[in-house]
Structure 1
């Protein structure tokens, strides 16, 4: 677990979400940190291409509703936060309907307003490394 992931607690029930705010205009969301590399905390390969990706790329995973049954695969979004903006490509889903299994690295389900981003996105936004993990953002189609 390279990025201090929260693991599921046995016997605890977690909320699941079947819908998310649409990514349009300036949608409020939360940026979280994720690894897209093999063996790291992202779990399995990316949904869009069944491959792992370097954390040096500007890439993200969107909550289940925002991912919209893979229709957002390889589309770019603009992320605004920390007084900066960055364009990143959607390569994966941050599961809001299931979790606590090997495919999700035994992490709880994602919230319905998550943009799970690579290290490169956090760096591009200029967020101090000791603040990585959770920040309020807005996002829109690029």
Structure 2
């Protein structure tokens, strides 16, 4: 998983699933192409678990990629400066 900004002016344009920008405080996530399933996962809640420390959060799928919001990284106890972190996910 990587970190991605979903606010206006950060990284890419608005989220693919809902056409909106999201605050860095929102629990949102993007799934890799395979898991995104051509948008079938849009707006569904997923459970993300850090393999590093076992912490778990729930986030709403808003885009296709392999990134999560700053809020999700913080809730998982991860530091965005590491670049990427290993996680597992499942339906919430």
TM-score of the pair, normalised by structure 2:
0.90
CA pair 44-129 structure 1, distance change in 2 beyond 3 A: closer
- Alignment of structure 1 residues 1-142 onto 2, 5 Å: 31-41=1-11, 43-81=12-50, 82-94=53-65, 114=66, 116-131=67-82, 133-142=83-92
Contact between 2:41 and 2:61, CA under 8 Å: does it hold in 1? yes
CA pair 85-67 structure 1, distance change in 2 beyond 3 A: same
Structure 1 unaligned segments of length 5 or more: list them. 1-30, 95-113
Deviation of the 1:55 alpha carbon = 1.2
- Runs of 4+ aligned structure 1 residues displaced above 6 Å come to none
Question: How far apart in 2 are the matches of 1:69 and 1:84?
Answer: 28
Deviation of the 1:129 alpha carbon = 4.7
Q: Which has the higher helix share?
A: 2
Structure label with greater radius of gyration: 1
Structure 2 unaligned segments of length 5 or more: list them. none
